[in-house]
Structure 1
Amino acid sequence: MRYSFRQLEVFLAAAHTENITRAAERLSMSQSAASSALRELEQQFDIQLFDRVGKRLQLNELGRLLRPQAEALLEQASELEQALAQHRTPGALHVGATLTIGNYLAVGIMSRYMGEQAGARVALEVANTSQVVQRVLNYELDIGLIEGELYHPDLEIIPWREDHLVAFCAPEHRLARVGVLDERALRETPWILREPGSGTRQTFERALHGLVSELDVRLELQHTEAIKRAVEAGLGVGCLSRVALRDAFRRGTLVPLAVPGRDFSRHFYFILHRSKYRSAGISRWIQLCQEYPELL
């Protein structure tokens, strides 16, 4: 074999960091050793994998073509090493989840995954849909759990479970006695919403198609808990996943509002890069997600 796994590791680290010094730090190598490994890989096959602009390394067309194959090869090698060492259960996993899923569902699934094997690790990153999608595309996450609808030719998008958004207000709000948001109230009430780019905002705007430009959006916040606190304080009306509101409705600190004629249903999805090798850990994570009980 004319290349080593270490050379491939340096190649992938350099592709991720776009800098050989940071790639070396990522792999706990010296800068000179990392530079030599990358140079030898290119010289052995008389190829160039990066365009070099000063100290920046930017993948060229050949590098982008070979990256997913190198990713898959190293993941398979890692699984083979685990099997040879008789550690056949899923190992470390890097998961991205949107705020609703990350805060209210993913932790329970992560607990089950890690409980199956002593020493198993899950790194969970919580961000909005657009950020999770980008990190999956960049091979920075093994799998993403999102709440927004999308299409991308490089992504495999798998439906997971149904969800619904619910409009809500504080118990003291004048709309709490009515319990309904009609077309006039939708236009006149101040709204406190998730930020653009989030799956929740995408579903909200789809449900209120034709009215979005007329809404009084007072606040746009990145965190569901901040929105709930602002609504409890009487600053306006919100709209979030029923998963995030279940406990507040049960305690009576927030009140649901019906919105006749508007469809707030949506799905949660798994997203994976089509070129990324699906390891045993990824497959087990998906299985555990599908087995996780519905939150009503």
Structure 2
Amino acid sequence: MKYTLRQLEVFLAVSHYENVSKAADELAMSQSACSSALKDFESQFDIQLFDRVGKRLQTNEEGRRLRPKAEALVAQAKDLERDLIQHNQVGKLNIGATLTIGNYLCVKLIDEFIKTHPGAKVRLEVANTRRIAEEILNFDIDLGMIEGEFQHDELDVIPWMEDELVCFCSPKHRLASVGHISKDDFLKEKWILREAGSGTRQTFDRAVSGLLSQLDITLELQHTEAIKRAVEADIGISCLSIISLKDAFARGALVPLTCDLDLKRHFYLVIHQQKFRSTGIQRWLELCEKHNHINAH
């Protein structure tokens, strides 16, 4: 074998940071050793993986083509090392989740995962659908859990759980006693919605597509709790996942409104097609499927 795993690690780190110095720090190497390893790797195969733009190294087309295979190979090597050392214990897992899933479902999943796999470490990043997809494509996270539909040639997008959005208002709002919002009401009211790029907003926009341009969208916020507080203050009405609203409905802090729109959607699990499915990833997918089965019943 003409290359080493260390050379692959250097290639991947430089591709990630597009900077030799930062890659060297990540790998606990000197800058000269890191640069030398990359140069040797390229010269061994008479290949150029980066375009030199000043002091910056930008991954070129050849580097982008080979990166997923290198990522998978290094991940398999690390998984094998864990198996040899820890006898198949689960190691570190990097999860990305969109807001509703991250704030209302993931804590329970992580708690069960860690209890089932003592010693496992889980890092959770919460962001919108677009950001999670970008991080999976860049191999910054192992897998994602998203609310929005997202398609990409390099990603496996797996339907996971069913969910439904619900329109709601303040108990002080005129619609609270009616419990229903009509097409005319949609146009009369001030709306407080999630930002564009979020899965929740994607579902809402699709459901009201014929009315969207006529809606009075007063606020666009990134955080579910901020939207709930704004609606509770009677600034406007909104539409969010039922998962994020159950407690507020039970307390009477917010009031659900039925409507004639189809606001059903799916949550999805997302993973890079060339991502090596380590023991940790496989166990997480199994846990998600278990919870989907429980919720379905």
TM-score of the pair, normalised by structure 1: 0.97
Instruction: Tell me which amino acid in the other structure corresponds to 2:116.
Output: E
Give the C-alpha shift of residue 267 in structure 1.
Answer: 0.1
Residue 59 of structure 2 is matched in structure 1 by 59
Give the C-alpha shift of residue 62 in structure 1.
Answer: 1.5
Deviations 1:218-240 (A, max 9, x none): 00000000000000001000100
> In the TM superposition, what are the counterparts of 1:1-296 in structure 2 within 5 Å?
1-260=1-260, 262-292=261-291, 293-294=294-295
Q: Is the 8 A contact 1:192 1:237 kept in 2?
A: yes
Q: 3-state DSSP class of the match of 1:174?
A: coil
Instruction: Tell me which amino acid in the other structure corresponds to 1:30.
Output: S
Q: 3-state DSSP class of the match of 2:235?
A: coil
Structure 2: unaligned runs, 5 residues or longer: none
Instruction: Tell me which amino acid in the other structure corresponds to 1:104.
Output: Y
Deviations 1:59-111 (A, max 9, x none): 11221111111111111111111121243032111110000000000111111
Instruction: Tell me which amino acid in the other structure corresponds to 1:25.
Output: D
Q: Is the 8 A contact 1:169 1:254 kept in 2?
A: yes
Q: Is the 8 A contact 1:191 1:217 kept in 2?
A: yes
Give the C-alpha shift of residue 116 in structure 1.
Answer: 2.3
Q: 3-state DSSP class of the match of 2:114?
A: helix
Give the C-alpha shift of residue 295 in structure 1.
Answer: 9.4
Deviations 1:218-263 (A, max 9, x none): 0000000000000000100010000000110111100000112x10
Instruction: Tell me which amino acid in the other structure corresponds to 1:17.
Output: Y
Work out the CA distance in 1 between the residues paired with 2:25 and 2:119.
24
Work out the CA distance in 2 between the residues paired with 1:295 and 1:100.
18
Q: 3-state DSSP class of the match of 2:151?
A: coil
Work out the CA distance in 2 between the residues paired with 1:280 and 1:64.
26
The root-mean-square deviation of aligned C-alpha atoms, in Å, is: 1.3
Q: Is the 8 A contact 2:129 2:198 kept in 1?
A: yes
TM-score of the pair, normalised by structure 2: 0.96
Work out the CA distance in 2 between the residues paired with 1:36 and 1:273.
30
Q: Is the 8 A contact 1:243 1:295 kept in 2?
A: no
Work out the CA distance in 2 between the residues paired with 1:42 and 1:176.
67
Instruction: Tell me which amino acid in the other structure corresponds to 1:267.
Output: H
Work out the CA distance in 1 between the residues paired with 2:273 and 2:214.
40
Give the C-alpha shift of residue 112 in structure 1.
Answer: 1.5
Q: Could you tell which deviates more after superposition, 136-145 or 157-166?
A: 136-145
Q: 3-state DSSP class of the match of 1:184?
A: helix
Aligned length: 295
Give the C-alpha shift of residue 284 in structure 1.
Answer: 0.9
Work out the CA distance in 2 between the residues paired with 1:32 and 1:26.
14
Q: Is the 8 A contact 2:200 2:240 kept in 1?
A: yes
Work out the CA distance in 2 between the residues paired with 1:288 and 1:118.
15
Q: Percent identity?
A: 58
Structure 1: unaligned runs, 5 residues or longer: none
Give the C-alpha shift of residue 10 in structure 1.
Answer: 0.8
Q: 3-state DSSP class of the match of 2:141?
A: coil
Q: Is the 8 A contact 2:90 2:119 kept in 1?
A: no
